[in-house]
Chains A and B, each alone.
Chain A
Amino acid sequence: MNRRAFLRTTGVALGAVALAGLPVRAQGLEGEDLANLEKALQAALGKGFKDLTPSNLIKLTMPAIAESGANVPAEVEVDLPSSQVKAIHLFADKNPTPHLVVIMPMKALPYYATRVRLAETSAIRAVVETADGKFLLASASTRVTVGGCG
């Protein structure tokens, strides 16, 4: 192989890698750990990450940066009637126990606010279990300077 042919083939290969890699990186959240999350999802819902449908009906509010992971405010609001929301779950990918909380709104509006501990910079997930058996997902990411789980 001469120099020109080598450059052409490697160039094409590199370009392909860059094209394939970019969209994934653009979508990926900071502090994402699907392997750890998957176990918690299976334990809590009996469903995997692939069974969740990303939805705009869920508004998950997390700070972009938290100085201390010991006390991070989290707020979730669901744009659905209460009767259609069976449960709201919160997960943090990187926590030793990723399942943060489950809320059964019953007569309350589908809203929940709390303060959570984050072990390190992590993606946070809000999963809404609807009355007709669907699982809706919203994600956010918080960068943590000092961890809160030890």
Chain B
Amino acid sequence: MPIRTIVRLTPAKPKAGENFKLQVVAQHPNEPGTRRDAEGKIIPAKYINQVEIYFEGEKVAEAKPGPSTSANPLYGFMFKAEKAGTFTVKLKDTDGDTGEGTVKLELA
């Protein structure tokens, strides 16, 4: 099942040379594998363990989150605005499910 991925930039239209944040929000339970359900059975671990950011096809940042990331996680990165282009975010979880989101960077 694909992971629902939302990407946004703050500010939405940065000026050239200005720093901006790229925030990724995913819809995912991110089970750490240590929690128990109502019957006391351990809920198996299932969490996003790879976050890759591409700009115009080139990998520009990568994070490897562990099991201790909260449900519906947020990943925030910061970049310097240089030229317009498209960011692609690729997510992957421990079960091999993937998610992808894109956002266009336009300069003000």
**One of B35, B59, B65, B71 near A100 (C-beta < 8 A):** B65
Query: Please, which residue of chain A has its CB at the minimum distance from the CB of B71?
Result: A70
* A99, A100, A106, A107 pick with most chain B CB within 10 angstroms: A107
B: contact size bracket: 20 to 34
Tell me if A114 counts as interface (CB < 8 A to partner B): yes
Tell me if A31 counts as interface (CB < 8 A to partner B): no
Q: Which of B1-9, B77-85, B91-99, B100-108 has 4 or more CB atoms under 8 Å from chain A?
A: B77-85
A: contact size bracket: 20 to 34
List residues of chain A with CB within 8 A of the CB of B30.
117
List residues of chain A with CB within 8 A of the CB of B71.
70-71
Q: Which of A13-21, A45-53, A90-98, A126-134 has 4 or more CB atoms under 8 Å from chain B?
A: A90-98
The interface bits of chain B over 2-27 (1 if a CB of A lies within 8 angstroms of the residue's CB, else 0) are: 00000000000000000101110000
* B35, B58, B61 pick with most chain A CB within 10 angstroms: B61
Q: What 4 pairs across the A-B complex have the smallest Cβ distances?
A: A113-B76, A150-B35, A111-B78, A107-B60
Please give the residue numbers on chain A whose beta carbons come within 8 Å of chain B beta carbons, in ascending order. Answer: 70-72, 75, 92, 95-109, 111-119, 148-150
